Structure 1
Amino acid sequence: MAKWGGNVRQRRRVWVAVCLGGGLLVVSSRALLKQLKALQAQQAALCSSSFSFSSPPKPKVAVDSVFAKRLVQILKVCVPSFWSKEAFQILLQTCLLYSRTQLTDEIAHLEGKLGQAVVSKDWAEFSSNLLRFAQAAVPASIVNSGLKYLQTVISLSFQKRLTEHLHRWYLSDRVYYAASVLGGLSNPDQRITEDVAKFSTAISELYSNTFKPILDIILFTRSLARTIGYKGQFVLYGYFIFCSILLRGISPPLALMATQEATLSGNFRNAHQRIVSHGEEIAYNDPPGGETERMILNNHLYKLMRHARLSAFQRFLQQVADGYLVKYTASIVGLCVFALPFYFDKKKDSLLSTGEYIRAVRLMMNTSKAIGQLVLLYKRVTSLAACTSRVSELLESVKSLRAGHSQRMSLALQKSQLVGMEKNESMPTLSKITSSNKIAFQNVSIYTPDNMLLVQGLSFEVVLGQSVIIMGPNGSGKSSLFRVLAELWPLQSGIIERPVREDMFYLSQRPYVVQGTLRDQVLYPSINARVSKRQKPQQDCSGSVCQLIDDDDDDALIIKALQSTELGYLLDRGSGLDQCQNWEETLSGGEKQRLAVSRLLYHNPKFAILDECTSAVSADGEEKLYQELHKSGITMLSIAHRPALKKFHVMALHLDGSQSRNGWRIEILNADAHRV
């Protein structure tokens, strides 16, 4: 009796301890949730204080209908049709997943048979089942490895398909230029290279981690029903439903955290890229330029590391809850559910019960694992939502920009004009660009994107064989005139006539050096048009397109163009036209401008638009380059400052940047002076 009373008191102590522990758990949980909210507020503050080029507010990243719609749109790009290669890969993965589930069921059955044979000491039965187990292990190993390999293949296929789709949109109709001018798209390089890869990996993992658990639950539930029925299994399923609701309520916003971290990482990379792009300017002012840049970089690094640490701590707390509720406690519930029927069933033979129990436990563990994967699926989905958001924003932005960045800029100008109508009350509304065999401006007014009038009522023409030079101070609208001519900026008023694009060639003050061979430098931008139909580009020079042309006549023209600009010595530095170097670092500013003129001489268009393209060359060298262009018969529309270049032109257009005489005047040069 005393023993019974002691047991009662002991049970009471246990209940009191449980109640106190439960109360403390509730209080501590509320305090923990409050602390998590504070951490998330700190993360939001870190992102809001970071400079970003994407000024428009972004929609909240969440698993909702917007996410589903965006995901479907991206998947249409990744899997364009049912007969595509990607669709076949997914179908093959589905077959392998089904085979893996069937093999798991068969292996669990064989393990039960082996356990029964061991208990009964039946050597013949044991040997037979062991041989069958060894046979089943062969396809199981192949299927398991095949699933991992196929998942990687699908991820790479999705990445290739999506990246090529983005390249097609981003590099057509000058979308890349519109993105830099109009803004609204932050870190496109990171989104195309890193975020697309992350999305492809996440979506390929999501399918196998969703379809397989569902298939396991269906097939294993049916198999277990023959042993213990459905009631016990429903208890386990109810527990997992409770866990999923609880974990969903206490989980941090993983999608938002991933998006914020990607934004901070992109800002940190951009800060480093600015040093690479403007290293010379910073070096001229160092010290204290280097120290200032170090402080800027460390500030970006601090924000990124602080956000990453806060995210890691929240994930740690979440993983503790996931492991305790989904992994360990679920195993306890599962063992109780499946073991009790065997314990209380006195009618079954012990050997038969042993085999069934081993098989049931194996299937139960696999079922618990499958349900646990589904419960924790929200973590994968929220991570996928972050990648989907960034990739989808990129897709939507490039499509919007491709639809017409000129129209968007025109709307911005019109809006600005409405605000400042008192400054420009009478503006011509007629504006169009037509094709012609000459370059002509008729009553053209040029505005900056912020609606500042640079030139008003400009009228002049450049006919074939009569070059025109444009002169004037900085900010007077010289380069802006070229941007309107090339339709980089919209034409707001007036009429422009110009030849077809194939008859015009633009050279800017900053020459573009392409990755590739010396031959590629001269052929650019018409490399692709000259690739032999039978020959594919060879990727031998850090992603450049090498060895594209074998025609000796073309090589002779390239060599002649290089020699005309006094760059023939470049042929002796390496393996001639086939040499690959880091031309951006190897060549000086003057050499790069000479190389650009070689490119112009090789293509030999009817008209050349030259925006101070020889400003880094000496005065004597500049005259020689213009002499070569004049001898080649190219009609030039040039921006230059040196008066000595006037002799290669028949007319000078002076822009003074003032509103007197509408900001421009024409000077007729000696008509015979250009015949040098």
Structure 2
Amino acid sequence: MAAVSKYLTAKNSSIAGGVLLVLYILKQRRRAAKLKGKKGSSEVLLNNEKDSKKDRAAVDKDFVLRIFRILRIMVPRFFCKETGYLLLIAAMLVTRTYCDVWMIQNGTMIESGIIGRDINLFKKHFYFYIAAIPGIALVNNFLKLGLNKLKLRFREKLTKHLYDEYLKGYTYYKMGNLDNRIANADQLLTQDVEKFCNSVVDLYSNLSKPLLDIGLYIFKLTSAIGAQGPASMMAYLLVSGLFLTRLRRPIGKMTVTEQRFEGEYRYVNSRLITNSEEIAFYNGNLREKQTIHATFNKLVDHLHNFIFFRFSMGFVDSLIAKYLATVVGYLVVSRPFLNPSDTRHLTSTHSELLEDYYQSGRMLLRMSQALGRIVLAGREMSRLSGFTSRITELMKVLKELNSGTYERTMVNQPNSGELEAEEKVTLIPGGGQIVNMDNIIKFEHTPLATPNGDVLIKDLNFEVRSGANVLVCGPNGCGKSSLFRVLGELWPLFGGQLTKPERGKLFYVPQRPYMTLGTLRDQVIYPDTYDDQKRKGISDLVLKEYLDNVQLGHILDREASWDTVQDWMDVLSGGEKQRMAMARLFYHKPQFAILDECTSAVSVDVEDYIYSHCRMVGISLFTVSHRKSLWKHHEYYLHMDGRGNYEFKPITEETVEFGS
């Protein structure tokens, strides 16, 4: 159709107009059909609405409110270091503006001395210039120092604030496992925060300096060429600024999309490193390469579009903010000299006219450049709006997660009747009550459900007191891990009442224990620090006993010091890591411990000793294990069948014989 339109355009303009009108109508109908198709699918529509809200980033009222909300975090009070650096930058900007005006005036006098062959005038102002060089250089570098320090201070304040919220309670877990609004928190907390802080400080510098220049040059030029010239330049600034701001609106959204794709690209690379061994066993390098290439190509395609858009906007920016501004400047500065009705220069000599024009022209040129920088600052402001949108979204999600609210997109949307019934029973995160009480774990009419709302057990009721061990068994997917996540308060309680000790009195030991970065001592006392260990009055000799109890004393002998730093995830074998986790359990001595297949790589004799020692020191256990030899160490069993049913009964001799 485009080819036909081109052909008809060459033949007859009226026919071409009709064809173009038809093409336009067809295009609108096609767009309407697409929208109608989207309305037919509720899931797609909901996702598109969510993406549009998340991606909305423009220089508007919301942007101003967001930026001030974040600035209150980065500048917490008036008398602080950040305010000092802001004032230093402002002072250096004012000083540099006056230095620019002085250099224009002094340079004009030097050139007047050269043209007028006045050696005394030349020497005087030439020496003034030489004497001023160190001061001007110092002002410029003080300005750079203030800008760099302010960027670092802003990043420090904002990063610490975000991490305080991110690492409050289990928020970091909830963000990745309960809530799916933030896909790559690491990208936001590192790169996006740095880029946001740099953009804010650069915008402060790029706006305040031109504004100071404009104010000062308007004052100087009004006395030299009248008020009409500066007023014309300001009118041009207003019109061109509004026009360019309108054109730049897509930059904010494109910046948000760029950072999201960057985060996805980083994620697939870190995932490859984390799971390199499993991938190597599967010979999955080609499949992973396809995944990485697909993610990278998505980023590259977007960047190509972004580069082309910036190229187009750069052309328009240069045309309007740079060259047309210079044209307006020429028209304004020439008017007093070329207008016959202007009487100010009727009696001026050629030298005076040249000096006046040269000085006024330079000031007007600097003013037009300042106006151009303000217009171009809109481009950076549009990009900043993208970073502001992402940081604001992160702050909003962190706040809601810390208040117990989360959002999760359902993959399978139930019909309205099912959804209403399900919401009444399960989809009320935090609908249950948690009561903290020592030496007891009690579920009272508690539904066991996943964050997606899938009900595993509708009504869970059982009670365990300190001194009794419970063996949890059942097929995969029956709810064993879900039970422990509810106990650890990682997942919300959807109803009923759960009575349990405080978080610090319940310890979890997984099948693949976590080894922290740090010393050998840190592996035993984690998450305590060395100061916490000393505060508890536990000596290194006691730590050595814990290692000996789990047959890991040879590691201390091999490393020769508790302060040895290694990559313990690689240095220790699977069985050694499991035994190290048990030594960690002995150190903390909680009231209850959850052992999730945590002795699968440990010999039976060491396992027997571990369970006997736990009973001796008063640690009650919830154990998930398929080893039949462990039945004798427990008083109760909790069996889940995976179909919503369970039974909680004492372990008798017949049960042990059946388990054996």
Q: What's the TM-score, normalizing by structure 2? A: 0.83
Could you tell me how far apart the structure 2 residues matched to 1:126 and 1:364 are?
24
Residue number in structure 1 paired with 2:76:
80
Whether 1:613 aligns to 2:613 is: no
Could you tell me how far apart the structure 1 residues matched to 2:424 and 2:385 are?
49
Residue number in structure 2 paired with 1:308:
303
Residue number in structure 2 paired with 1:93:
89
Could you tell me how far apart the structure 2 residues matched to 1:155 and 1:334 are?
35
The one-letter amino acid paired with 1:305 is V
Counterpart among 290, 293, 306 of residue 298 in structure 1: 293
Q: Mapping of 1:45-84 within 5 angstroms?
A: 56-59=50-53, 60-84=56-80
Residue number in structure 1 paired with 2:418:
419
SS class of match (1:593): helix
Structure 1 contact 115–358 (Cα < 8 Å) conserved? no
The verdict on how the C-alpha distance between 1:457 and 1:361 changes in structure 2, with shifts beyond 3 A counting, is: closer
Could you tell me how far apart the structure 1 residues matched to 2:584 and 2:125 are?
76
Whether 1:166 aligns to 2:168 is: no
Q: Mapping of 1:533-552 within 5 angstroms?
A: none
Q: Mapping of 1:275-424 within 5 angstroms?
A: 275-286=272-283, 289-339=284-334, 341-342=336-337, 345-405=345-405, 419=418
Counterpart among 633, 636, 647 of residue 664 in structure 1: 647
Could you tell me how far apart the structure 2 residues matched to 1:417 and 1:625 are?
52
Residue number in structure 1 paired with 2:185:
188
Structure 1 contact 607–636 (Cα < 8 Å) conserved? yes
- CA-to-aligned-CA distance 1:276-320 (integer Å, 9 cap, x gap): 33333333322xx32222112111111111111121122122222
The one-letter amino acid paired with 2:72 is K
Whether 1:581 aligns to 2:581 is: no
Could you tell me how far apart the structure 2 residues matched to 1:355 and 1:254 are?
44
Q: How far off its partner does 1:568 sit? A: 2.4
Q: How far off its partner does 1:565 sit? A: 1.9
The verdict on how the C-alpha distance between 1:65 and 1:251 changes in structure 2, with shifts beyond 3 A counting, is: closer
Residue number in structure 2 paired with 1:209:
206
Q: What's the TM-score, normalizing by structure 1? A: 0.81
Segment drifting more, 393-402 vs 572-581:
572-581
Segment drifting more, 551-560 vs 130-139:
551-560
Could you tell me how far apart the structure 2 residues matched to 1:219 and 1:101 are?
8
The verdict on how the C-alpha distance between 1:430 and 1:313 changes in structure 2, with shifts beyond 3 A counting, is: closer
Structure 2 contact 488–503 (Cα < 8 Å) conserved? no
Could you tell me how far apart the structure 1 residues matched to 2:530 and 2:648 are?
42
- CA-to-aligned-CA distance 1:461-511 (integer Å, 9 cap, x gap): 333333222222222222222222222223334433222333322222232
Could you tell me how far apart the structure 1 residues matched to 2:96 and 2:462 are?
76
Segment drifting more, 600-609 vs 486-495:
486-495
Structure 2 contact 187–263 (Cα < 8 Å) conserved? yes
- CA-to-aligned-CA distance 1:151-190 (integer Å, 9 cap, x gap): 1111111111111111111111311122122222221110
The one-letter amino acid paired with 1:470 is V
Structure 2 contact 58–249 (Cα < 8 Å) conserved? no
Could you tell me how far apart the structure 1 residues matched to 2:417 and 2:543 are?
52
Q: Mapping of 1:455-534 within 5 angstroms?
A: 455=457, 457-527=459-529, 530=532
Q: What are structure 2's unaligned runs of at least 5 residues?
A: 1-19, 32-43, 340-344
Residue number in structure 1 paired with 2:15:
none
SS class of match (1:198): helix
- Identity rate, percent: 34
Residue number in structure 2 paired with 1:542:
none
Counterpart among 544, 561, 567 of residue 552 in structure 2: 567
The verdict on how the C-alpha distance between 1:368 and 1:424 changes in structure 2, with shifts beyond 3 A counting, is: closer
Could you tell me how far apart the structure 2 residues matched to 1:487 and 1:316 are?
51
Counterpart among 229, 234, 245 of residue 232 in structure 1: 229
Could you tell me how far apart the structure 2 residues matched to 1:125 and 1:422 are?
93
Counterpart among 113, 118, 121 of residue 122 in structure 1: 118
Q: How far off its partner does 1:400 sit? A: 0.7
Q: How far off its partner does 1:339 sit? A: 4.6
SS class of match (1:460): strand
The verdict on how the C-alpha distance between 1:144 and 1:420 changes in structure 2, with shifts beyond 3 A counting, is: closer
Structure 2 contact 112–355 (Cα < 8 Å) conserved? yes
SS class of match (1:253): helix
Residue number in structure 1 paired with 2:640:
655
The one-letter amino acid paired with 2:206 is N
Could you tell me how far apart the structure 2 residues matched to 1:318 and 1:204 are?
23
Structure 1 contact 178–405 (Cα < 8 Å) conserved? no
Structure 1 contact 484–491 (Cα < 8 Å) conserved? yes
The verdict on how the C-alpha distance between 1:106 and 1:524 changes in structure 2, with shifts beyond 3 A counting, is: same
The verdict on how the C-alpha distance between 1:423 and 1:99 changes in structure 2, with shifts beyond 3 A counting, is: closer
Q: How far off its partner does 1:123 sit? A: 2.0
Residue number in structure 2 paired with 1:150:
146
Structure 1 contact 190–266 (Cα < 8 Å) conserved? yes
Counterpart among 626, 635, 639 of residue 620 in structure 2: 635
- CA-to-aligned-CA distance 1:428-458 (integer Å, 9 cap, x gap): 9975534233223344442333444433544
Residue number in structure 2 paired with 1:626:
611
SS class of match (1:569): helix
Q: How far off its partner does 1:328 sit? A: 3.3
Counterpart among 243, 260, 266 of residue 269 in structure 1: 266
The one-letter amino acid paired with 1:634 is I
Q: CA RMSD in A?
A: 3.5
The verdict on how the C-alpha distance between 1:83 and 1:663 changes in structure 2, with shifts beyond 3 A counting, is: same
Q: How far off its partner does 1:592 sit? A: 2.0
Could you tell me how far apart the structure 1 residues matched to 2:252 and 2:619 are?
57
The verdict on how the C-alpha distance between 1:432 and 1:320 changes in structure 2, with shifts beyond 3 A counting, is: closer
Q: How far off its partner does 1:94 sit? A: 1.2
Structure 2 contact 59–249 (Cα < 8 Å) conserved? no
Could you tell me how far apart the structure 1 residues matched to 2:424 and 2:372 are?
69
SS class of match (1:577): coil
Structure 2 contact 252–384 (Cα < 8 Å) conserved? yes
Structure 2 contact 488–506 (Cα < 8 Å) conserved? no
The one-letter amino acid paired with 1:300 is T
Could you tell me how far apart the structure 1 residues matched to 2:586 and 2:102 are?
74
Could you tell me how far apart the structure 2 residues matched to 1:664 and 1:231 are?
90
SS class of match (2:51): coil
Could you tell me how far apart the structure 1 residues matched to 2:432 and 2:67 are?
43
Could you tell me how far apart the structure 2 residues matched to 1:488 and 1:348 are?
84
The verdict on how the C-alpha distance between 1:355 and 1:417 changes in structure 2, with shifts beyond 3 A counting, is: closer
Give the 4+ runs in structure 1 shifted more than 6 A: 415-418, 420-430, 549-552
Structure 1 contact 112–356 (Cα < 8 Å) conserved? no
Could you tell me how far apart the structure 1 residues matched to 2:367 and 2:263 are?
41
Segment drifting more, 376-385 vs 294-303:
294-303
SS class of match (2:565): coil
